[in-house]
Structure 1
Amino acid sequence: MAAFCEEFTLCALGGGGGGGPPQGPLWLEADGDRALLTDRGKTVTLYKVSDQKPLGCWSVKEGQIITSPAVHIFETGEFIVVRDDKVLQIWKEDDPNFDRIFKATLSSDVYRIHSLPHTEPLVLFKGGAVKRLDTLLAAPQQEIENIISNEVIRWSEIFMDVQQPVLMFITEQDGNCFLYVHHYNPYILHKFKLEQGDESFLPLSFGAYLKDKVVTLLSLYSDGCVYKISVPLQQSGSEEEQILSKSLLIRLAVSGSILKGTSIAILDKDHIAIVGCLDSPNSDVREYISIWNIMFQTLQASKELPHGTTQQCWCYGDRLFVTHGKELKVILYKCKTSSLAAAIGKTKGMQVSERKTLSVNWNMLQEDDLMYIQPDQSVPAKDEFKRLLRPKRSMGAKAQLESLTVEQLLLTIKDSSQNEIEEKVVKFLSNTRMPNFQTSLECIVSALVNRCKTEPTFYPSACLVQLIQTQGVSYSMCPGLMAVALEKTDVHLLQLCLQQFPDIPEAITCACLRTFLKLGDEHLKEMNLGSVADYADDAHHSKVEKQPKVIQNGFSSELLEEDGCDTELTQKSHATDASELCPVGPQKATLLNSILRSAYSETFLLPHLKDLSADQVILFLRYLQYLYMKCNEEATTDFPEIFSVSINQIMDWMCLLLDAHFTVVVMLPEARKLLSELHKFVRAQVRLCSELNKIEGSLKELQRLKHSKDDSLYSIEVLKLF
């Protein structure tokens, strides 16, 4: 999961001419804790980022202007900048007089200089030619050829491919974009044309990274979409202009509104940062910087920029440099590796062997009878599956003609009755050839949630359940959905969200936990929450036979009695241990298991657990104790796989609860016995681990012993481990 950390101001930005609004820097380059800032006028400043102090500042004379960003030559420690389009100026950090530094006037205008460690800097001219810096310094007035004509360079970047630099730049001419790739040793130039989409939307910003000899180019368009273009570096000798196709990577939508980004920065292969503005319904345009996970297509973090921005963003290391008002901000961030486990925190921990795949008898289904199902998507239960089936083939063309579009359904949601909306949604979901299925679901759910907020009597629960069961909805797509379900105390909908959404914030998870614990068992009896309820009901009214002499996972009643710290609690005369009975009803147990299996991060979850009341904490701890006892029995629990919980999940939640409410629990008299029993569980586990450590040490010692082999002798050897 990606998140913003602390932020601070690096420096103030200069205003525009005549005291106008602040202008963004020409460029910023950072290396470790040092940042080189080039403004659009006359100054180049070197900063130490952690101290927010300038280490040096150099300015050109009056009448001169910096036209290309300054760069740092790593090997020599020199800096180089271009002024007035053609004049190269090179200096070192300890040069006090900027007027007396080395200068070289070139014969053609420079677009930008690119530098990489252990390579000679490359100079990109506005005509598209690329030259090495040492070649230019040897003959500054050499003739520079023009590769492009009537094209304007919009973006450029340099990469290192097999110890050789590769420079890429994008040009624009009459709405068409072209990509040029320069290779060295040997010198090769490739030209591509980028696929042109809707002419009304233009590319605003580009970013790229190199992996496995393929450059992945990301392009941010004015319609709030990010497209992906793959550029292979190994090309055939064909001189024909190739067209590179683009594919939609992510649509920057927040609660139904399009985030119109203007700057993109690549954080890693799975995360990007976007600076842009969000149009709210009341025409209040607000600017944000946000982090998006492009693998799971979710918004990970967002921060508003209330003082405005010049729409510029740079990323170096774990720092984002963003213009904000009249200042240049440094925002620290963190991005975990983009696997499903890292993106959503604590996962359900289900082993591959435990996964349960529901099979379908495809011979009983016609080809066109199934609605759209995403790859690796589970098939719904039998009664739910019937509602998702398309109309029979006998309806034929009539069903096709009556299919709804997203726009028609959104108009229906605005003012139609609840029953009519539910019928239209079922009809809409029956369309198997629906384009942009996930985007359509997002618009529909957002429209339903918005109407629920504005019209308290409107709440299409069954309709929302069907949309969630398509498994095309996530929390990030519509954050208001679970908030409305909590307000309506719709525990069935909340349970489905907890089971299917991988990106639920910890605050919402704790809100669901509080709601489940507050509800009485009588209120939940009428709800069908899953087959696990049957198991929990049997366990609630029956006692499982136990064999005290058998030690499972380090647990034994004899050990508990032997190690007990309170003799009153270990009397063998008691008939039934309270921990053997489930302290909650079967339906509530089902809901609590959904909480235990939900994804979370301990850092973010712990503060919200403190909102639980003392009674709720005790009840939840007793239920966790009950689950712990079941997991330690000789016979394993028979929960269905989608509801089962592991011993690690139980212990993690138990520790989190005690950390959040330790003082309160210690002061409660009714918690004394519970804490004592939990303490005995821990001592039993410690004893087991201690004995295992002894065995491990003995076995290692035996491995070190070297015995001489004599096959002619027969002997019996007795080993005493402890």
Structure 2
Amino acid sequence: MAALYEGYTLCGVGAVQNSSNIGILGVEQGRDIDHVLVTDSSRCITIYKVSDQRATGSWSVKQGQIISCPAVFNTQSQEYVVVTDDKVVRVWKEDDVNLEKAFKATVSADVLRVLSATDSEPVVLFCCGAVRFLDLLLASPQQPIEHVLAEDEIIRWSTIVKAEHQLVILFSTEQRGEHCLYVQRFNPNTLVKHRFETEPCLSAPISFSATCRGSNIHLLYLYLNGSVYESVLPLRSSSTGAEGVLALSRSLCLSLPLGEEKLMSGAVVVLDEAHVAVVGFPHPSAGACKDYLCIWNTHFQTLQACKEMAGRIYSQLWCYSGKLYIPHGKMLSVIPFECQKSSLAAALGKLKQTSQSAESKSCSFVSSWTAQTYSDVTQTTEIKSRMATRNNSNVKSVDQLIEHIKTSAVEDVQAEVGEFIRRTPQADLQLAVGRVALELVSRSQTDANFYPQCVFLQLLETRYLCYSVCPELLSLAMVKKDLHLCQIAFQIFSDIPEAVTCAYLKTILSTSDSEMETVNLDTDSVMFMKELTRAQSRSDEEGGQLNGFCSPALESDVSDTLSNKLQRDPLALDMSCPVGLHKGALLNEVLQTAYSDRPLLPHLKDLTVPQVIVFLQYLRFLYFKYCHDAHKQIRALRTPSISQIIDWVCLLLDAHFTVLAVAPEAKRLISDLHKFVRSQVKLYAELGKIEGSLQVLNSKRSEDFGMYAIQVIELF
């Protein structure tokens, strides 16, 4: 699973001079992971400290001069390098104030770019295809530069890759509609030319990204038709270039949605071996809008995270140290991201955090694309046979069902969908459920009288539906106040975004208990709440009576005893449930939903103070119940764990601490939580002392006292 966190603006950008240029030539890594070097097309080079969002140094060239390529940082000499007016190489240190007074040298041929890798000497790539190490070039600036490319061959893209202490230069060229890739290695010094595969009506690649994994270079490139291809090049090649132009083998990694408008630009960058970031292509559920930054999983072809960017997005995207740098509108934004290890469960969403093994076993399905669903080999063979001989009849039945959904009544749709689920093979049903759900949601949004709740529940019971397949289903259910459907979806879906979780939480807290009691919910969840409240009433009866009976003569003594206990025991707090049984059952589902802290906190701030107080009171109620071991006598498949309760308490306090500190109605609640935490700290301190004493005893060797012995051990 991948996540995009809350971004921030690093700097503004210059006025747009060209529709294809936003005013930024490049963003390069600085002297460490917290510094980047931003080169704009006006005449300025600036160093930014990313964590502070401030500039630490800036240089500009004189009026009439132009910066030809992005500036880079030489990690070996701790100097900056840039090329101006195509032929003037400038080198300066960070404490140099004036760029004109720094070292400069004029070379004999036009320079395309200066490429730099960590702990390596920068390499100068000329427009004619020749390469030189920077120090060798500056030692003799006017040395002759050979022409590697043809006269009308133009370099469109270039990069440098370092692995195993070896540098490799990659650059693509265009010549009369033909596109090639050059691979320049230095040890040994070889230049190999590859030709991109061509297809009818397929233009040139519009974006490239190269990484090194193991002993191979992985090159990803994007076409305007949404196809992302990958070519694998060995880091050490036996080719010398004498073989001529080699064919560049490729494999299709991803097919992006195109939308309705014709696309003219886009960019892709590799994040890890399973994830890529893409800009300039429409979000699958946002129509033709292209102003999105998306992270896709190339192993499972799924959208993992997306973020709408204000203003126009251009074909520029950089990635350094877990952060994406994207210019949009009139600003350059930094978007932190995180990618987890690729697996089917992670690709479809976040793994559920649950400790109930029975539930996880009952809800587990296919763990990978190649895993067998059935243990019976004969049945598996039959399924494969049906898939191999499948004709267009199944596809037509899906299309017919969708057409039927568009016009039929709710009762007819329910019968048709139920029959379709029963007679469709599971391999085909897994692909068809998403299409059916999307059509049902689409009609429900346009037709106020059409809402097939039973049909949605049937689709959820197949377990082939997830949030990514039909993202509007939960929003529709919350609009319709269908809390039962939301509860089932939260039990099944493992990829619910944090924003949707908070919207569902707000819906629960804003609904009155009287209205909530009329909702038909999952029986096990409600039974758990009933038993939890009954356990407290039984404990109260046992504490106030003797064998279920308290004589009038003892009532005053019991009352005095309880009063003294309340004064002595800081944990003797109000243990009554602050919400109704149904609302508590729904809140338990929210507590068990997977989330990430950073994207969840901004959405939690949308809760009002009364809603936060009620939620905290309920969390306190659960916490005290768990500490009194009341829940251990209650059997339930889905119950929140103590760690989940504590995490949500921390999240709410982090999001609303300032407001709660000044709210009079929250004073008692915060005081109760403070008393409990203080008592817990004291308890764990004493347990730590006991643990230390036991460790000392364990470290001593036991002596042989024969068949029988009595020992007295004093701990304190």
Whether the 8 Å contact between 2:13 and 2:23 is mirrored in structure 1 is no
Q: Which residue of 1 aligns with 2:545?
A: none
Asked whether the equivalents of residues 166 and 182 of structure 1 are also in contact (C-alpha less than 8 Å), the reply is yes
In the aligned structure 1, how far is the partner of 2:192 from the partner of 2:529? 67
Which structure 2 residues correspond to residues 157-172 of structure 1 after superposition, within 5 A? 157-172=159-174
After superposition, the Cα gap between the structure-2 partners of 1:502 and 1:626, relative to the gap in structure 1 and judged at 3 Å, is: farther
**1:217 aligned partner:** 219
Change (3 A) 1:465 1:516: farther
Distance apart, 1:498 and its partner CA: 0.9
Q: Distance in 2 between matches of 1:37 and 1:413?
A: 54
Aligned CA distance change for structure 1 residues 212 and 405 (closer, same or farther; 3 Å): farther
Letter in 1 for 2:187: N
CA 1:712–1:408 in structure 2 vs 1: closer, same or farther (change >3 Å)?
closer
What's the % identity of the aligned pairs?
Answer: 28
C-alpha deviation, 1:457, in angstroms = 1.0
How far is 1:452 from its partner? 1.9
The corresponding residue for 2:28 is 29
Task: Say whether residues 1:57 and 2:59 are aligned partners.
Answer: yes
Amino acid at match of 1:275: V
Residue 304 of structure 1, CA deviation: 2.8
Q: Paired residue for 1:385?
A: none
Establish whether residue 607 from structure 1 lines up as the match of residue 605 from structure 2.
Answer: yes
Residue number among 315, 329, 333 corresponding to 2:332 in the alignment? 329
CA distance, structure 1, for counterparts of residue 371 and residue 160 of structure 2 = 39
Match of 1:503 in 2: 496
Query: After the TM superposition, which residues 178-193 of structure 1 pair with which residues of structure 2 at under 5 Å, given as runs?
Result: 178-193=180-195
Report the Cα distance in structure 1 between the residues aligned to 2:99 and 2:115, rounded to whole angstroms: 25
Kindly provide the CA deviation profile for residues 594-627 of structure 1, in whole angstroms up to 9, marking residues without a partner as x. Answer: 2221123363464345465599548845862685
Counterpart for residue 305 of structure 2:
300
Contact 1:11 / 1:52 at 8 angstroms: preserved in 2?
no
Given that 1:208 and 1:215 are in contact with CA atoms closer than 8 Å, whether structure 2 keeps it comes out as: yes
2:72: which partner in 1? 71
C-alpha displacement at 1:70, in angstroms?
3.3
CA distance in structure 1 between the aligned counterparts of 2:678 and 2:58, rounded to whole angstroms: 62
Query: CA separation in 1, counterparts of 2:57 and 2:577?
Result: 70
Q: 1:457 aligned to 2:449?
A: yes
Of residues 256-265 and 596-605 in structure 1, the stretch that sits farther from structure 2 once superposed is 256-265
Q: CA deviation at 1:654?
A: 5.5
- Structure 2 residue matching 1:333: 3-state secondary structure: strand
Equivalent residue of 1:165, what SS?
strand
CA offsets 1:28-82 (integer angstroms, 9 cap, x no match): 33414655444447x34234455755844343674x6544333333333444444
1:639 paired with 2:636, answer yes
For structure 1, the 5+ residue unaligned runs are: 361-369, 380-389, 550-560, 572-576
Q: 1:538 to 1:241 in 2, by over 3 A?
A: same
- 1:489-638 map, 5 Å: 489-499=481-491, 500-505=493-498, 506-514=501-509, 518=513, 520=515, 523-524=518-519, 529=522, 531=524, 566-567=563-564, 584-585=580-581, 590-600=585-595, 601=597, 603-604=601-602, 606-610=604-608, 613=611, 617=615, 620=618, 624=622, 628=626, 631-632=629-630, 636-638=633-635
Find 2:267's aligned residue among 259, 263, 270.
Answer: 263
For the structure 1 residues 262 and 67, does the alpha-carbon distance in structure 2 shift closer, same or farther, using more than 3 Å as the test?
A: same
Once residues 690 and 613 of structure 2 are traced to their aligned partners in structure 1, the CA distance between those partners, rounded to angstroms, is: 43
Moved more, 491-500 or 655-664: 655-664
Is residue 2:113 matched to residue 1:102?
Answer: no
CA contact (8 A) 2:3 2:304 kept: no
The Cα offsets for residues 545-581 of structure 1, whole Å up to 9 and x where unpaired, read as 98999xxxxxxxxxxx99998437699xxxxx99699
Is the contact made by 1:88 and 1:106 (CA closer than 8 Å) also made in structure 2? no
Moved more, 124-133 or 529-538: 529-538
Give the alignment partner of residue 430 of structure 1, picking from 411, 419, 424. 424
- Deviation for aligned residue 1:146: 2.0
- The alpha-carbon deviation at position 697 of structure 1 amounts to 1.8
Q: Distance in 2 between matches of 1:265 and 1:89?
A: 29
User: How far apart, in 1, do the equivalents of 2:609 and 2:264 lie?
Assistant: 37
What RMSD in Å do the two structures reach over aligned CA positions? 5.6
Name the SS for the 2:476 alignment partner: helix
Give the secondary-structure state (helix, strand or coil) at the position aligned to 2:24: coil
State whether residues 34 and 46 of structure 1, in contact with CA within 8 Å, keep that contact through their aligned partners in structure 2: no
Contact 2:466/2:495 (<8 A) preserved: yes
Kindly indicate whether the alpha-carbon contact (under 8 Å) linking 2:229 and 2:254 is maintained by their aligned counterparts in 1. Answer: yes
Contact 2:619 2:645 in 1 (8 A): no
Structure-1 separation of matches of 2:407 and 2:666: 53
Identify the range of structure 1 (612-621 vs 163-172) with the bigger mean alpha-carbon deviation: 612-621
**1:398/1:178 Cα in 2 relative to 1: closer, same or farther (>3 Å)?**
closer
1:665–1:617 distance in 2 versus 1, CA, 3 Å: farther
Residue 712 and residue 135 in structure 1: after superposition, are their counterparts in 2 closer, same or farther (change >3 A)?
same
Is 1:624–1:654's contact at 8 Å kept on the other side of the alignment?
no
- For residues 211 and 446 of structure 1, the distance between their equivalents in structure 2, rounded to whole angstroms, comes to 39
Does structure 1 conserve the Cα–Cα contact (< 8 Å) formed by 2:453 and 2:485?
Answer: yes
Q: Give the residue type in structure 2 aligned to 1:28.
A: V
Give the secondary structure class of the aligned counterpart of 1:523: coil
Q: Which residue of 2 aligns with 1:557?
A: none
Question: 8 Å contact 2:206–2:222 — kept in the other structure?
Answer: yes
Cα distance in 1, alignment partners of residues 356 and 236 from structure 2: 39
Q: Distance in 2 between matches of 1:409 and 1:260?
A: 37
SS where residue 474 of structure 2 aligns?
Answer: helix
Instruction: Name the SS for the 2:497 alignment partner.
Output: coil
Counterparts of 1:441 and 1:638, CA distance in 2 = 33
Residues of 2 paired with 1:290 and 1:38: CA distance?
Answer: 25
1:124-143 correspondence runs (5 A): 124-138=125-139, 140-143=142-145
Q: d(CA) in 1 for partners of 2:646 and 2:452?
A: 38
Counterpart of 2:445, as a letter, is K
The verdict on how the C-alpha distance between 1:177 and 1:424 changes in structure 2, with shifts beyond 3 A counting, is farther
**Cα 1:431–1:99, aligned 2, differ >3 Å: closer, same or farther?**
farther
Count of residues in Structure 1 that have an aligned counterpart in Structure 2: 665
Q: Is the 8 A contact 1:231 1:244 kept in 2?
A: no
Deviation at 1:510, TM superposition (A): 0.9
What TM-score results when the alignment is normalised by the length of structure 1? 0.72
How big is the shift at 1:194?
A: 4.9
* 1:574 corresponds to: none
Aligned-pair distance for 1:227? 4.6
Equivalent pair of 1:24/1:312 in contact (CA under 8 Å): no
CA contact (8 A) 1:441 1:467 kept: yes
Secondary structure at the residue paired with 1:720?
coil
SS at match of 1:514: helix
Report SS of the residue matched to 2:266.
Answer: strand
C-alpha contact (below 8 Å) 2:323/2:334 kept by paired residues:
yes
Shift of 1:484: 1.0
Question: What letter matches 1:349 in structure 2?
Answer: Q
Tell whether the 8 Å contact from 2:26 to 2:38 is kept in structure 1 after alignment. yes
Query: Which residue does 1:721 correspond to in 2?
Result: 715
Change (3 A) 1:359 1:667: closer
Contact 2:210 2:219 in 1 (8 A): yes
1:275 aligns with 2:273: no
Quick one: distance in 1 between partners of 2:147 and 2:579? 83
Residue 552 of structure 1: aligned partner:
none
TM-aligned CA distance change 1:597 to 1:432, over 3 Å: closer
- Hey, what's the Cα distance between the residues in 1 that align with 2:594 and 2:6? 21
Could you list the per-position Cα deviations for residues 486-519 of structure 1 after superposition, in whole angstroms to 9, with x for gaps in the alignment?
1222223211221223233242241353377646
Alpha-carbon offset, residue 153 of structure 1 = 3.0
Distance (Å, rounded) in 2 between the aligned partners of 1:467 and 1:717? 67
SS at match of 1:26: strand
Q: Residue 241 of structure 1 corresponds to which residue in structure 2?
A: 246
Contact kept in structure 2, 1:628 and 1:650, CA below 8 Å: no
TM-score under structure 2 length normalisation? 0.72
